[in-house]
Amino acid sequence: METVRLKNPDSVVRETFAVEGMTCGSCAGTVQRALSAVDGVSSATVEAGSASATVTYDPTVARPADLKEAVAQAGYTLHDQGEAPAKAPRSKGGGCCC
């Protein structure tokens, strides 16, 4: 496991987001890897069952927009909690096993 050095450890925040488009554990793994690759993210836990991602990050390095962009590049949509549309999960097609 790679050690993440945070610019300002005192400013770390933990935030939960809704994730649109996940349908299985493989999808959750893809989203987790995308979030973990963002500079300033110290941890990311993604659950397909609840369609959520909990991310611990340094807001002086990473912004929610950076997290959303990384997830979008992976083929999913990250929403602020409570902002996600009330839709059933959908298969994103392509490389997913769904």
* Domain spans in the chain, listed from the N-terminal domain onward: 11-80
- What is this structure's pTM? 0.79
In this structure, the chain runs to a length of 98
User: Residue 60 pLDDT more than 70?
Assistant: yes
Please give the pLDDT value at position 87.
52
Report whether 96 contacts 23 (CB < 8 A): yes
Tokens 């962009």, located at residue: 69
Of the ranges 9-13, 68-72, 89-93, which one carries the lowest mean pLDDT score? Answer: 89-93
Going by the DSSP 8-state scheme, the letter that residue 47 receives in this structure is E
User: 75's torsion region: left (phi>0), alpha (psi -120 to 50) or beta?
Assistant: left
Residues in a beta bridge with 79: 18
State the architecture of 11-80 in CATH terms.
2-Layer Sandwich (3.30)
Residue 61: other Cβ atoms inside 10 A = 19
Planar angle of CA 16, 43, 48, nearest 5 degrees: 50
How many Å apart are CA 83 and CA 32, to the nearest integer?
20
